[in-house]
Structure 1
Amino acid sequence: MSRSDVLPFPHCRLAWAELQACSNFTFLTGGSHPEEYIDRAALLGLSAVAIADVNSVAGIVRAHTRAREIARQVAERQEFDRTIGLIGPPAPPGFRRSASAHIYNTPRLLPATKIVLGEGLSATLLPKTRVGWSQLCRLISRGRLQADKGGCDLKFDDLLEFGGDQLILLHAPPALEVQLGAPSWLPHLRRLTRRFAGDVMLLLYPCYDGQDEVRFSGIAALAQRYSLPLVASAAPIMHHGARRRLTDTLTAIRLGVRVDALGRSAQVNAEQRLRSPEEAAILFQAYPEALHKTAEVLEQLTFSLDALRYEYPSELSAGENPSDRLRRLAYEGLAWRYPSGATARVKKIIEHELQLIAKLNYEPYFLTVHDIVAFARSRGILCQGRGSAANSVVCYCLGVTSVSPEIGTMVFERFVSEARNEPPDIDVDFEHERREEVIQHIYERYGRHRAGLCATVVHYRGKRAIREVGRAMGLSEDTIGALSSQLWGFFSTKGLEAERMAEIGLDSSDPRLQQTMALIYEVIGFPRHLSQHVGGFIITDGRLDELVPIENASMEGRTVICWDKDDIDSLGILKVDILALGMLTCIRKAFDLISAHYGVEYTLASLPPEDPAVYDMLCRADSLGVFQVESRAQMNFLPRMRPRCFYDLVIEVAIIRPGPIQGDMVHPYIRRRNGEE
């Protein structure tokens, strides 16, 4: 019998999609990045792939971003090939050329998650609509908020409450009995099918352990007994079989054992990988109805992350719309900042800024930052906006920054630009000892269901990779320490490992050491766990937990979302950075001492500018503890630079950076500044 005789997809006219791929955002379990699944799906000719991590959607945005990029590249290539006559007109809907035409394949990302309940039941959930996505996010939030950081405590009743508008693909119970199934599992099955009739299906997936034929038969019998449709999945935990060794290593790290001692926890083979339509057809050839049903459900799964519409808080106040309120506050601040009257130039700048802000509908964002800063000032907490917000007269008048931008040469469009189509990003520093007051105020004002800190994905870097992979591979602590001591040597001069190892007394020809080094290089960049962003807040008009799941942070009183800065940028979500700066605490204490001893009240805006005594101190490199110029490199450069004005300090800070130093800009600048060139 030829392969074409067993294919249930005649000429590949029906779509094959992977409905539950486990990525490395199921930390220390999945063996591939979400982006790698999308790339591999495009190459294999899959119509769609669902990234379904355990109780999480943390890696979905990365896959979504990659899928969009592939679609853009394919569209450009098709247009070019069509222009030069390499391909004909577009194929009819639903038809895919199955051979070389895979170069035009654009797989769709299916948002999903694998839910594991406390009662032992597992299911893959795929939102059908935007409402389904909201329900999924609230379900994960429910479980995450009921557990400590990194945990998820979900009950069956939670699934009943938040399972609407989703396809529920039930995993067969581990102790499956061909006739009856697991007794404790069946009551849940009956309740689910009554509650979500038509959306509950049984997932047919292999374990690649030699028992799949018996397992498939039992699942099919269970589906027939309870009139449930079967859908097929290859259940990959890696995009390619070459990741088997790394996957076993991650498992050993998770379990705290050596790879040699994994036993049944190790991968039996390299089969648990993403499958092509042809491979899937052979894998499930005895169950063509499962393959056909898998193709059919794609028509129900219309939701895409592109449908997410981030709604910033409207910031309405006493019936005043955001535009009128921002204009009023800006001009009130103008009178406050310029008691003797603003110049014509400043008035022209503020009007230009207000018009551009209104055109881009960013008024609520500026109002949120104003309200947070106003709260801090009402409590006597020193704060200061940083970065390109200093280019804005509006920010100066709202009290976000304390230096008038008219003294500089930067333009407002460096901060907010219609051409760049990027949202503004206002970073505000607060006294580090009192920032928590501001953070808790935001939670109290908006509610924890509307506000949360961004996540930061902690990735494997050199030292952690050497330490954890080395222990999993059974290296001694002495060997691990020796490898760590050569960290920068290894990762800055790849290919010279043998020489480096010889220098520290290690045998580079040892097979285990060679395997360990290969795995260390491979694991670099893998996500290890989620941490919290230093201060990036996401605030929404509606429920944040219907946009993205919320979970507990390790710090008491903090809640975070599972997406990081790059993810929210990709989706066009605004954040407000509430940062901590120790120097502001020092300045506050200095203000208090000046007030107590000299009776003079200073603010950041009223400090005497260009104090010669300060520049004399800097020219002597007496800058220990002075923010931005306290490093050894800065202290070495200050006597040569001899700053005498604020702009000199701007150059001072900017030029002592890796780029200018490696580009040999420092010495030519000094010579030209001194008139030597």
Structure 2
Amino acid sequence: QGRGSAANSAVCYALGITEVDPARMNMLFERFISKERNEPPDIDVDFEHQRREEVIQYLYRKYGRHRAALAATVICYRPKSALRDIGRALGLDPQQAERLSRNLAWWDDRARLPQRLREAGFDPASPVIQRLLDLAGTLIGFPRHLSQHVGGFVIARDRLSRLAPIENAAMAERSIIQWDKDDLDALGLLKVDVLALGMLSAIRRALDLVGERRAVRFTMSDVPPEDPAVYEMIRRADTMGVFQIESRAQMSMLPRLAPTNFYDLVIEVAIVRPGPIQGGMVHPYLRRRQGLEPATYPSDAVREVLSRTLGVPIFQEQVMQLAVVAAGFTPGEADQLRRSMAAWRRKGGLEHFQERLIRGMSERGYERAFAERIYQQILGFGEYGFPESHSASFALLVYVSAWIKHHEPAAFLAALLNSQPMGFYAPSQLVQDAHRHGVQVLAADVMTSQRDCRLEESAEPVVRLGLRMVQGLSQAGAERIVAARRERRFESVDDLARRAALNRHDLKRLAAAGALASLAGHRREAYWDVAAIEAGRHLLRDAPIPESRPVLAAPTEGENLIADYASLGLTLGRHPLALLRSRLARLRFASAEAIRGMPHGRRTRAAGIVTGRQRPDTASGVVFVTLEDETGYVNVVVWRDLGERQHRELLGSRLMGVEGVLEREGEVVHLVARRLMDHSGLLGKLAPAMASRDFH
């Protein structure tokens, strides 16, 4: 799907490059192309992330490896990698080096290294450690190695090797240029972005599943627009797995902004961004939307530009239009302003626009305070401002994925699982959320599962986990199982091993995941049957000798839980904290469900598995932690000072206890932490499998 400024173009829409009709939106064509820019229009196209390699190989076939290559990106040393590499060079024990780097957060800078070393049990006064700190501090920011750019593709008219140094990539059938995108821009080489979007894969898979179930072809254009039930779900922030609005920040914003139509989603996508936040645009917009303050406009011309966002400039196009109608810029000059906005943090160059903007507004009767405020908002946008056309393209995917989640939750789950890795949430959280929405999920089974997760018909569609969910099972092995079963059903584990030509590794992976239950029984019986299989050719392979199986006790619920997470990354049984609830209750930890019903200002304690940590650059050092238990989620706010004091608990806890004060604003509930506790020991052998997904 096309996005970005291409959504301003009716031609791109008519050709099917973009999905958003520019006639329905207030688009600015100069954002797409202008004569002052003197270059071709910039058309961004996202491809399904699991099919991106097909597009890359198509480009290589069309233009030849001698004319096309991927751009490089320079990976520079950060504190963790600098300590690890220098530690290795100085002869530190690998376990010591690992302990050193593990105690660092991704946001730590070089000034915090001595403190982190002390916390990890090292003496910063030691000569070896002092040398380590000195060398690591020197190395931070220095280039470490070249990697492949996420999507930048360079295409030349003739041999690319005459223009730039090229090397073979680590991946087969790929070439990369040893320069990054800034080098290529400086040289004026044509770069095409081959971008990938996981949600496109998930939506296509979900619509295919819906179409199969309804026995009709079902596409994005068949999704009914403006469904009130979908918006009601979005306003509740019931959006786990939904494109763009599944993050903590977005979920907190949804009940406040309370979207009721598509354009509200366009604003939602754009407003929870560093640009509007740093430009001071979020709170004024929310106050005006909630009727707490009036929307004011210094002129009718400004009203025409800003009325759709209640007088607050949220989109890049609005800044460009303001420059035209209020300061006398030509549309092309306004686009130059937009390009300077995108680069000023790295290169500067906005100063001459400041004088021109303020002088132009003053000459047209606008107060200097208004002009200064607009300029400060432009600075806040920096390189993070969203074009309205880009937001509209993304908002369409928001609505479609939300519609599927609401009306076809089983297909939504199956599609998300088949499209992993993607998004904020691991498969375990997606399955737990689906359970809470009434979706039945069946275990992976060699007798019924395809390679992908799929729907099975009953009164309501249920999700059957695919063999792809079995960690460590080879793709070829899974495909042979499905192909052999298509000929006839398996009669035993030995029959499965012979006809699907499975090696011992694949058989053990299936046994560990409980995927042999239909043939062998519980996990211990499955392991016994696998152990009895002789690999390779032997005289009696096709004439097995029947042997009696010993009586093996079934695993306990806790043992099955540990095996589930180790082999699948999730469980279809009870949530781990359901087994620990009585112990947590004795420690006075309330459940997520109980916390949701508590009043503002209540002091309480929560405990849950850490599913994610976020530390946005715009949050002044605040870390947002999400805890999960058997009843739902608790959103925890950890202020900078507490995070510094309890650094190890914040970063190291798999099962975190939090004591704090509840903050409630309507439906938005946060627990502001006063103390953190690491109760990971209660998880026992399950703890290593409880890795969180952490984000900047």
TM-score of the superposed pair, with normalisation by structure 2: 0.39
Q: Which has the larger radius of gyration?
A: 1
Instruction: Give TM-score scaled by structure 1 length.
Output: 0.40
